[in-house]
Amino acid sequence: MELCVALDLPSREQNLSLAKELKDFPVWLKVGLRSYIRDGKEFIQDLKSINTKFKIFADLKLYDIPNTMADAAEELTKIGIEMFNIHASAGREAMQTVMHRLEQFSKRPLVLAVTVLTSFNEEQFRSIYNASIDEKATQFAKDAYEAGLDGVVCSVFESKRIKQIISSDFITLTPGIRPFGEDAGDQKRVAGIEMAKANESDIIVVGRPIYKAKNPKEVVEKILTKL
């Protein structure tokens, strides 16, 4: 299992200083919409210059018509990141179009599909999709696999089932992790490290429990010993 640290701090400087603190750790860094909109691709280059071995996950959750998604995916690939995600609910055709567009590159980032956001509970989810979280997450994962994606973003609670149904090689990246029982905040389906491991998550995403801690480096160190 690997750790992905969400760089969700309010300023570029704060995110860079967190990255500097973590420069000796083998971690993924997650750049979300806020940072990317504000700080752009130069921010990704800044992260790489702190440690070229940092693996960057652009959590931009693309959702649009197929051609527009493929255009964005192509541009993201040119930046030189290691992973990005798109919404499975954009549909099979959109996912296939993205993967097809990336065939021109000799090296491409991993592409994950967002299944069900971990901030949804059953009731909220049903009011939009008219289906249960489990049912839909599995369906989205199958669509993503068939479209040639590398894996999915899902909660720990769907990870194992998705692997059983699809393949153990199909990556599951799981946000909503509270390593040491921290406050869930707006997340509804949270889990600890042991649970993530038992459910065969490949990459856990941790944000607030790290960046809100007094000593983020210590928390990361502690998490890494448990993976």
- Give the catalytic positions in this structure: 61
- Using the rule CB under 6 A, is 31 a contact of ligand C5P? no
Residue 25 and residue 60 in contact, taking contact as beta carbons nearer than 8 Å:
no
C-alpha–C-alpha distance, residues 148 and 73, integer Å: 14
Task: Rule CB under 6 A: choose which of 3, 72, 111, 205 binds ligand C5P.
Answer: 205
- Using the rule CB under 6 A, is 179 a contact of ligand C5P? no
Contact pattern from residue 96 through residue 135 relative to ligand C5P, giving x for each residue in contact according to CB under 6 A and a dash for the rest: ------------------x--xx-----------------
Q: Which residues of 161-193 are buried (b: 16+ CB within 10 A; e: fewer)?
A: bbbeebeeebbbbbbbbbbeebeeeebbbbbbb
- Using the rule CB under 6 A, is 18 a contact of ligand C5P? no
- Using the rule CB under 6 A, is 144 a contact of ligand C5P? no
- Using the rule CB under 6 A, is 175 a contact of ligand C5P? yes
C-alpha–C-alpha distance, residues 171 and 159, integer Å: 9
DSSP state of 175: -
Contacts with ligand C5P by CB under 6 A lie at 6, 8, 32, 59, 114, 117-118, 153, 175-176, 185, 187, 205-208
